[in-house]
A and B are shown apart, each in its own frame.
Chain A
């Protein structure tokens, strides 16, 4: 009897051991219907640091090409798909029940998405339903339970350890490289059968409806993944003057960003805002023009590889983080710099 109990207990222990150490991570793909957004690739790299199996969920409408491209991403074992017109606009209410059900079906140990407005919207909803904590803006994976994340606008780094059955979090994509888009051969698992009824049920219960979107089209690279970012602040004086930055951005193949002061003054739309409450960028080159460098702004760009600041106030805090600081009137300096770079290239 006692021996039986001991054996049973040791089997239990063993199962516990296996559960803890064979991770199954689900990454939720972010896409705009037509193409995969690159933050998903950074998130897959974060998932690979956890170890174990990686699968990806693509929920959307007519996403075949996205699914195909994800199957080739190195390290991805399965791609779960739910393809339905109701999923055309990503709503927290529609994607959450799919993820919760996948967690239960597949005993997922980790669920990750990029810390964009997309991921931030549904990841905590999933965590609430699973009764687990969520870990926001993961900047490094120490082990399968331990992560670092910035707090207080990036002025402190917290190391946190989760003993939840399933670790649910968002990944600061600029802190991880992109996973290679070749070398993988994932299997596709179509989940429509069980997932679509869940989505429909949730839509009925919450009665949420997408009305419209206003998406700003730009020829320039996307702000969060651009190699070069040129941002303007209050010193730009008007929206018109942002043309100067656009010209420089085109010379360098970069994106244009802005400080909150520039957005609040109505110079540019708020999706360009870089900072604690806007976008987090970490390009190779960040050029801050007419930006004083408030901590909320620094939180969004201080992990850039090289920071150049152009400001006429020599005391501006931006100069404390800038690798290259040029004290000058921006209206003179920016066109000159643009010409000089064109010549130097």
Chain B
């Protein structure tokens, strides 16, 4: 029996990079900046591969949307253990969550996965939307902020997911196909082995365009400007508890 997992991944500015806002306020400088797979997506890939290792999933398909450089990110996921990569070449257009969700819906219609696992948010736009939008478009059940995914090998047509909610945890069970978005606690992603990295470089990727998928990627949300947040005024270092107390009194906090 086949059990396919689709894992959408995004190429973003590396989490450790201190970003710079462009002088013309049009966005954040990404030229010559280190890019990596979105950390939450690494967790999604890892979870999909673990499902394969447990003998539940039979195929893991990684998909990324954006410029040609996304292919590197897809190869990264293949090096981790994904079986197949699909690149939706969006050119230089900045694809928003709604456009990505629509493109993913078309891919779901084509690939017919049993499960789609996504990161809960991309660390560049911090939207936290794509998985939920896709679930809405497909009318599939969704489990967001997953910290545990449990599929019974003997009846792999449903999933139990523990979610991180405000104030604690919650467990849902749902019928497959379903959408899961990963929280940080779900797992610890593996490092790709050199041998697998070499192999992934030769892997053949399927390349599609939004036009071929019949999706208009324009949306009605425009970014007018991107600016630096207001800077905090530098504080003082004090060398005694008394001085801390004096400051707290000055701010009328005690």
Query: What separation, in Å, do the CA atoms of A210 and B225 have in the docked complex?
Result: 42
B226 and A151 contacting across the interface, CB-CB below 8 Å? yes
B residues less than 8 Å from A260 (CB atoms): 184
B residues less than 8 Å from A207 (CB atoms): 141, 158, 174-175
Choice from A124, A164, A344, A345 contacting B132 with Cβ under 8 Å: A124
Query: What separation, in Å, do the CA atoms of A135 and B96 have in the docked complex?
Result: 11
Query: What separation, in Å, do the CA atoms of A75 and B134 have in the docked complex?
Result: 34
B236 and A324 contacting across the interface, CB-CB below 8 Å? yes
A interface secondary structure, majority? mixed
B126 and A151 contacting across the interface, CB-CB below 8 Å? yes
Query: What separation, in Å, do the CA atoms of A277 and B234 have in the docked complex?
Result: 26
> Would A206 and B140 be within 8 Å (CB), given that A92-B132, A128-B133, A211-B172 are in contact?
yes
> Would A158 and B132 be within 8 Å (CB), given that A93-B141, A321-B232, A337-B244 are in contact?
no
For chain B, residues 151 to 200, give those with C-beta under 8 angstroms from any C-beta of chain A: 158, 160, 163-175, 183-185
Q: How large is the interface on A (under 10, 10 to 19, 20 to 34, 35 or more residues)?
A: 35 or more
A132 interfacial by beta-carbon distance below 8 Å = yes
For chain B, residues 204 to 254, give those with C-beta under 8 angstroms from any C-beta of chain A: 219-229, 232, 234-239, 241-245, 247-249, 251, 253-254
B98 and A132 contacting across the interface, CB-CB below 8 Å? yes
Residue among B169, B219, B221, B239 with max Cβ neighbours from chain A (10 Å): B221
Query: What separation, in Å, do the CA atoms of A93 and B251 have in the docked complex?
Result: 46
A125 and B136 contacting across the interface, CB-CB below 8 Å? yes
A188 interfacial by beta-carbon distance below 8 Å = no
B98 and A128 contacting across the interface, CB-CB below 8 Å? yes
Chain B binder among A18-26, A43-51, A191-199, A213-221: A213-221
Q: Count how many pairs of residues, one from A and one from B, have CB atoms less than 8 Å apart in the complex.
A: 257
A341 interfacial by beta-carbon distance below 8 Å = yes
B residues less than 8 Å from A216 (CB atoms): 167-168
Query: What separation, in Å, do the CA atoms of A212 and B171 have in the docked complex?
Result: 5
> Would A134 and B129 be within 8 Å (CB), given that A155-B18, A209-B173, A212-B171 are in contact?
yes
Choice from A128, A285, A295, A326 contacting B137 with Cβ under 8 Å: A128
Q: Which residue of B lies closest to A130 (CB)?
A: B136
A residues less than 8 Å from B69 (CB atoms): none
B124 and A152 contacting across the interface, CB-CB below 8 Å? yes
| Nearest-Cβ distance from residue A256 to partner chain B, whole angstroms | 14
Q: Which residue of A lies closest to B138 (CB)?
A: A128
A153 interfacial by beta-carbon distance below 8 Å = yes
A residues less than 8 Å from B120 (CB atoms): 277
A117 and B247 contacting across the interface, CB-CB below 8 Å? no
Choice from B141, B160, B225, B247 contacting A158 with Cβ under 8 Å: B225
B133 and A125 contacting across the interface, CB-CB below 8 Å? yes
| Nearest-Cβ distance from residue B17 to partner chain A, whole angstroms | 9
> Would A159 and B223 be within 8 Å (CB), given that A295-B18, A325-B235 are in contact?
yes
B123 interfacial by beta-carbon distance below 8 Å = yes
Contact digits for A205-243, partner B, Cβ 8 Å, 1 yes 0 no: 111111111111000001010001000000000000000
28 pairs from A and B in contact (CB 8 Å cutoff): A91-B172, A92-B132, A116-B166, A124-B133, A125-B132, A127-B133, A128-B133, A128-B136, A136-B129, A152-B19, A152-B28, A153-B123, A156-B227, A160-B221, A162-B222, A208-B174, A211-B172, A213-B169, A215-B167, A270-B184, A271-B164, A271-B166, A296-B15, A319-B237, A323-B235, A325-B235, A337-B245, A341-B254
Contact surface of A with B, Cβ cutoff 8 Å: 32, 89, 91-93, 96, 116-118, 120-129, 131-137, 146, 150-164, 205-216, 222, 224, 228, 252, 260, 269-271, 276-277, 279, 284-285, 295-296, 302, 305-308, 314, 319-327, 333, 336-337, 340-341, 344-345
